[in-house]
């Protein structure tokens, strides 16, 4: 859950801070850091002013907050009596300043949501530091999810926090592939070599614009030529000789989750089923990719079954047709989708020899029932 940044109660602030927040020109001066205030009062005043109804004052406060000296800010934010909202506000702006990050992350008053935010943005060192607070990770597993989705986090660190969650029977929300991640747990942390290999593969799989694969009209059936073209484009990753197969299963799953269409094209064909399932569950997977994979008879039955179970995909006409043409689609799902197909597609299915006879029979029955119709549903 995101941190809600609401104004601080002025009555809880010092007299000097209340005066800076009062009506008059002093508010603009305070937003520029020009009011003589103790550091603790200054960060509280800047926090409140960034929420000011005057857009110029709010913008000035945000700019000043981002430009405060690192050493001064770190010393101020280490105060355990500071309001958690102040820590979150400055964390969003200064997470890349080592001293400031450490002050916020180690402050006992920091909110769980703030640590999750920092875990999603910090570098490998920052994520490692957050990972040491096991009590926080178990209390707010969203922090683990944020770490997992941060490409800069070391694979060895991710293995360690996943093992912690599984050992304590804590499910990490927000990770569609959590079941696969948990099942892939090997019981040991990755080596430094695995960290380097994961970083290499993750960087290499960002081979450029993947729109040629992810974009297209999913409201019509793909032709064989269009499908072949997209599958050929997906093989660009193989041409780069990326050592995907050298990764451990947990690392493959993470690449499938974080990577682009090229990464998913490798992972979805992996012989280890939990890797291919992680690819189809990737949050970045596009509707067009789902349509292409729905036609692919070489994929595991679990992949096709998963596509057929997703209503957000089966509402697209191209996906419906592809699933009905794929013999690996469960008959129950094909039977549900057949009445939604157009006449010409039912005709093709009624003559097909590559799909289950029950699907062919239902297609013929629907054609008979529609006899004399306009040919569309």
Q: Are residues 205 and 277 in the same domain?
A: yes
Q: State how far the Cα of 75 lies from the Cα of 100, in Å rounded to an integer.
A: 8
pLDDT at 252 over 90: yes
H runs (alpha helix) in 149-272: 155-167, 178-183, 192-204, 211-214, 224-234, 236-239, 249-258, 261-267
Which residues, 6+ apart, have CB-to-CB distance to 14 below 8 Å? 38, 41
Query: At which of 296, 324, 339 does a domain end?
Result: 296
Q: State how far the Cα of 69 lies from the Cα of 28, in Å rounded to an integer.
A: 20
pLDDT at 375 over 50: no
Scan for tokens 């964390």, then name that residue.
91
Q: State how far the Cα of 201 lies from the Cα of 206, in Å rounded to an integer.
A: 9
| Structural domain containing residue 359 | 313-377
- Confidence (pLDDT) at 377: 45
- Torsion-angle region of residue 356: left (phi > 0), alpha (psi -120 to 50) or beta? beta
Q: Are residues 211 and 251 in the same domain?
A: yes
Q: State how far the Cα of 244 lies from the Cα of 234, in Å rounded to an integer.
A: 14
Q: Are residues 340 and 269 in the same domain?
A: no
Q: Are residues 199 and 290 in the same domain?
A: yes
Q: Are residues 222 and 290 in the same domain?
A: yes
- Torsion-angle region of residue 2: left (phi > 0), alpha (psi -120 to 50) or beta? beta
User: How does residue 244 score in pLDDT terms, banded at 50, 70 and 90?
Assistant: confident
Query: At which of 270, 296, 322 does a domain end?
Result: 296
Q: State how far the Cα of 289 lies from the Cα of 355, in Å rounded to an integer.
A: 22
Q: Are residues 291 and 344 in the same domain?
A: no
**104, 91 in Cβ contact below 8 A?**
yes
Residue 270 resides in a domain: yes
Query: At which of 240, 268, 296 does a domain end?
Result: 296
pLDDT at 60 over 90: yes
User: How does residue 282 score in pLDDT terms, banded at 50, 70 and 90?
Assistant: very high
Q: pLDDT tens digit string along 350-363?
A: 999 999 999 999 99
Question: For residues 225 and 316, which has the higher predicted lDDT (pLDDT)?
Answer: 316
Secondary structure class of 230 (helix, strand, coil): helix
Q: State how far the Cα of 365 lies from the Cα of 14, in Å rounded to an integer.
A: 80
Residue 248 resides in a domain: yes
User: How does residue 314 score in pLDDT terms, banded at 50, 70 and 90?
Assistant: very high
Alpha-carbon distances, residue 141 vs 48, 100, 147, 171, 362 (angstroms): 30, 24, 10, 7, 47
pLDDT at 56 over 90: yes
Q: State how far the Cα of 288 lies from the Cα of 212, in Å rounded to an integer.
A: 10
Secondary structure class of 144 (helix, strand, coil): helix
Q: Are residues 269 and 359 in the same domain?
A: no
Greatest mean pLDDT among 75-79, 173-177, 235-239: 75-79
Q: State how far the Cα of 184 lies from the Cα of 210, in Å rounded to an integer.
A: 28
Q: How many domains does the chain have?
A: 2
Q: State how far the Cα of 271 lies from the Cα of 185, in Å rounded to an integer.
A: 17
Question: For residues 263 and 69, which has the higher predicted lDDT (pLDDT)?
Answer: 69
Token pair of 91 as six digits: 């964390």
Q: Are residues 337 and 284 in the same domain?
A: no
Q: State how far the Cα of 47 lies from the Cα of 44, in Å rounded to an integer.
A: 5
pLDDT at 365 over 90: yes
Q: State how far the Cα of 273 lies from the Cα of 23, in Å rounded to an integer.
A: 64
Chain-centroid distance of CA 139 in Å reads 21
User: How does residue 194 score in pLDDT terms, banded at 50, 70 and 90?
Assistant: confident
Q: State how far the Cα of 110 lies from the Cα of 119, in Å rounded to an integer.
A: 13
**343, 376 in Cβ contact below 8 A?**
yes
pTM for the predicted model, two decimal places: 0.85
Helical packing angle, 39-49 and 70-77, nearest 10°: 90
pLDDT at 23 over 50: yes
Helical packing angle, 357-369 and 343-350, nearest 10°: 140
Q: pLDDT tens digit string along 203-220?
A: 776 655 555 455 555 555
Helical packing angle, 192-204 and 249-258, nearest 10°: 30
Q: pLDDT tens digit string along 102-140?
A: 999 999 999 999 999 999 999 999 999 999 999 999 999
| Mean pLDDT in residue range 150-179 | 95
Task: Give the per-residue SS3 of 246-266.
Answer: HCCHHHHHHHHHHCCHHHHHH
Q: Are residues 204 and 263 in the same domain?
A: yes
Alpha-carbon distances, residue 59 vs 10, 69, 259 (angstroms): 20, 18, 35
Q: pLDDT tens digit string along 291-313?
A: 889 999 999 999 999 999 999 99
User: How does residue 267 score in pLDDT terms, banded at 50, 70 and 90?
Assistant: very high
Q: Are residues 371 and 317 in the same domain?
A: yes
Which of 150, 166, 111 minimizes the C-alpha distance to 133?
A: 111
Residue 99 resides in a domain: no
Q: State how far the Cα of 292 lies from the Cα of 29, in Å rounded to an integer.
A: 59
Token pair of 55 as six digits: 């857009």
Q: Are residues 240 and 196 in the same domain?
A: yes
């Amino acid at each position: 859950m995101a941190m809600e940044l609401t104004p601080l109660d002025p009555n809880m602030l010092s007299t000097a801070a209340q005066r800076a927040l009062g009506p008059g020109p002093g508010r603009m001066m305070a937003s520029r850091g020009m009011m003589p205030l103790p550091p603790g009062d200054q960060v509280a005043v800047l926090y409140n002013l960034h929420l000011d109804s005057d857009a110029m004052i709010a913008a000035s406060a945000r700019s000043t907050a981002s430009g405060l000296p690192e050493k001064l800010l770190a010393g101020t934010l280490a105060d355990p009596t500071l309001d958690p909202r102040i820590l979150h506000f400055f964390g969003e702006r200064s997470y890349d300043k080592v001293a400031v990050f450490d002050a916020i992350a180690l402050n006992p008053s920091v909110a769980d949501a703030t640590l999750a935010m920092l875990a999603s943005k910090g570098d490998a060192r920052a994520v490692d530091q957050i990972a040491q607070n096991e009590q926080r990770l178990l209390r707010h597993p969203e922090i683990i999810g944020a770490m997992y989705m941060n490409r800069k986090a070391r694979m060895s660190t991710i293995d360690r926090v996943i093992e912690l969650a599984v050992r304590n029977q804590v499910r990490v929300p927000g990770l569609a592939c959590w079941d696969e991640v948990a099942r892939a747990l090997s019981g040991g942390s990755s080596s430094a070599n695995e960290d380097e290999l994961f970083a290499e593969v993750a960087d290499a799989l960002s081979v450029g614009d993947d729109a040629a694969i992810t974009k297209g009209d999913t409201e019509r059936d793909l032709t064989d030529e269009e499908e072949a073209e997209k599958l050929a484009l997906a093989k660009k990753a193989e041409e780069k000789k990326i050592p995907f197969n050298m990764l451990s299963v947990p690392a493959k799953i993470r690449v499938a989750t974080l990577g682009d269409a090229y990464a998913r094209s490798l992972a979805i064909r992996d012989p280890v089923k939990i890797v291919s399932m992680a690819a189809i569950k990737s949050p970045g997977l596009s509707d067009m990719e789902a349509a292409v994979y729905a036609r692919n008879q070489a994929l595991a039955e679990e992949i096709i079954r998963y596509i057929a179970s997703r209503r957000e995909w089966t509402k697209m006409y191209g996906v419906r047709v592809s699933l009905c043409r794929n013999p690996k689609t469960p008959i129950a799902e094909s039977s549900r989708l057949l009445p939604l197909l157009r006449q010409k597609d039912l005709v093709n299915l009624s003559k097909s020899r590559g799909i289950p006879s029950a699907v062919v029979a239902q297609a013929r029955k629907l054609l008979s029932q529609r006899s004399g119709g306009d040919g569309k549903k």
